[in-house]
Amino acid sequence: MNMSNLDYLLPYKKNIDWPELEKLKAERESWWQRESSKKWKIDEYPSYEEVKTHYDSDWVRIEGSPESPQSKIDLEEKAKQLIPWKKGPFHLFDLKIDAEWRSDMKWERMIPFLPDLKNKTILDVGCNNGYFLFRMANYEPRLALGIDPVLPMQAQFDLIQNYAKNDAIKFELFGVEHLPLFKKMFDVIFHMGIVYHHRHPIQQFLDIRESLVPGGVAFLETIGIPGEESYALFPEDRYARMGNVWFIPTMSCFINWAKKARFINVEIVSDTLLTSEEQRKTPWCPPPFQSLNDSLDPEDSTKTIEGHPAPRRFLIKVQKKKGN
């Protein structure tokens, strides 16, 4: 597993609550000692030679030659050990990992809006297995740090990174609640698919703003509902079978959250109805795991199974004012 220390963050030490981050790092690494974590541990990776990674296509693609025929067998076995794969796709040598989410579709929507990422310091909050980190690598950032407090996500990231070996890409088991440990550090922050799972959306946006350098940019994404007015759905119980959902805004409400957090230059990147082309079951996210179609009314796909408006995906680009 990725048990590296925090030395890669030393150039940013003045922007970090270092004692608290060290304690957090040690506490999160101890999670791997739990009995329940054993099924996610991969202590030895199959050997491949002449490895080369391509970050510029829909599939994050790694090429190379297996050291032996057994390497191919072992690689597929270890990748399947980490099912479900929620984000992708990855083409790992001869193995195509077609994840539940076509994350490449979201990335394509963002490409025209991306700032210059070369030599920039980037944070991906709730990065899952790091698919977007690997796509960012094509732009040669100084650092692309992904955080997600979920062991299987780190295990999947480590499997890909074991072969990619990209020193600019890092993963930590931190959560969005740890953003206050970083002050004026990141040039760009991606915060996608997180905010509706938490009770305090505006506080998250404020924490993001404080973590950005002056003039820094953030990409904010949420599940949303249709409507012209500024309001949010607050489901009494579940939304699309998810219990951990709090506020589901209209686009104007979402934009107002960003403005209340004192972001400027708000741009709408996309307003897209979520479809089964983008999120669906695959052999890498098979039953009994559920996907989009399981959460929609089988008689009316414009509604969730609970009768709420079906999910849209809103993505906006915002900026922190220069000089603050």
- Looking at residue 11, its pLDDT comes to 98
> For domain 21-39+103-319, which CATH number applies: 3.40.50.150, 3.40.190.10, 3.40.50.1100, 3.40.50.970?
3.40.50.150
Contact of 188 with 292, CB cutoff 8 Å: no
- Mean confidence (pLDDT) of the chain: 97
pLDDT band (50, 70, 90) for residue 262: very high
* Mean pLDDT confidence for 135-148: 99
Contact in structure between 55 and 100 (CB atoms under 8 Å): no
Give residue 4's pLDDT band: very low, low, confident or very high (50, 70, 90): low
User: How does residue 113 score in pLDDT terms, banded at 50, 70 and 90?
Assistant: very high
Domain residue limits, the chain: 21-39+103-319
Strands 212-224 and 312-319: antiparallel
Mean pLDDT of 223-240: 97
Q: What is the pTM of this model?
A: 0.96
The string of pLDDT tens digits covering residues 165-175 is: 999 999 999 99
